[in-house]
Structure 1
Amino acid sequence: MSTKASAPNFAKALRAVRLERDLSQEDFYEVSGRTYISRLENDGADPTLSKIVQLAQVMGTHPLTLLTLAFCGKGSSAEVERLLAGVKEEIASFEDLRLGRRDRRRPAG
């Protein structure tokens, strides 16, 4: 199965989780300035993966939570379940996933 990804909305996910956790933009001072958080929440910047990890740590959540919500329209339980089930199925379909190895080519034979 190939999961078709809709355009992610990281800005909406970040803001929703931040507000749910009752955090201000200033609460991220150890990892980012308020201006950068504002840019992220207004879709004016794209965070790196390491920045997503840092933001998630401040919010006390897993980075995949932010990414999952970014790919959900409303973040309903049913929508999240469908998305994660599709991802789980896709990962299970990999025959020989060699995480941690440099050479991903299959041996000839």
Structure 2
Amino acid sequence: MDYRQALGSSLRKIRKARGLSQESFMSISSRAHISMLERGLKGVTIEKMIEIAEVMRVHPLTVLLDSFSSYEGVTSERLLKQIAQEHEELGGD
């Protein structure tokens, strides 16, 4: 599975978990575009990811965490620890 497919799978999973149809995104994107994202046929900008996450009522990093977890075959807990460590090393609070 490549990263676009992992991201698409996460988008679909979260959308369905929230009880949303692809048509729920009509204010920000077409149903066809959402379908292509979910099938891994298109990439997404950070701006569009933020808009999609807002419709799904999740933080954009939740979508990315879920997709990278699948893509890398690791648990979300492991990724969160890695992110926290890297953030601290870079001077984060």
- TM-score by length of structure 1 reads 0.74
Q: Secondary structure at the match of 1:72?
A: helix
Q: What is residue 67 of structure 1 aligned with on the other side?
A: 64
Specify which structure has the higher proportion of helix: 2
Give the letter aligned to residue 59 of structure 2. H
Displacement after TM superposition at 1:81 (Å): 1.0
Q: Which structure 2 segments of 5+ residues have no match?
A: none
Q: Which structure 1 segments of 5+ residues have no match?
A: 1-6, 98-109
Q: What is residue 77 of structure 2 aligned with on the other side?
A: 81
Displacement after TM superposition at 1:83 (Å): 0.4
What is the CA deviation profile of residues 71-92 of structure 1, one whole-angstrom value per residue up to 9, with x for unaligned ones? 0129xxx811110110110111
Distance 1:73 1:38 in 2: 19
- TM-score by length of structure 2 reads 0.87
Structure having the higher Rg: 1
Q: Secondary structure at the match of 1:30?
A: coil
Q: Secondary structure at the match of 2:28?
A: coil
Q: What is residue 10 of structure 1 aligned with on the other side?
A: 7
1:92 corresponds, among 74, 85, 88, to 88
2:50 corresponds, among 45, 49, 53, to 53
Q: What is residue 25 of structure 1 aligned with on the other side?
A: 22
Question: RMSD value over aligned CA atoms?
Answer: 1.7
What is the CA deviation profile of residues 15-63 of structure 1, one whole-angstrom value per residue up to 9, with x for unaligned ones? 0000000100000000100000000001010000000000000001100
List 4+ stretches of structure 1 deviating above 2 A: none
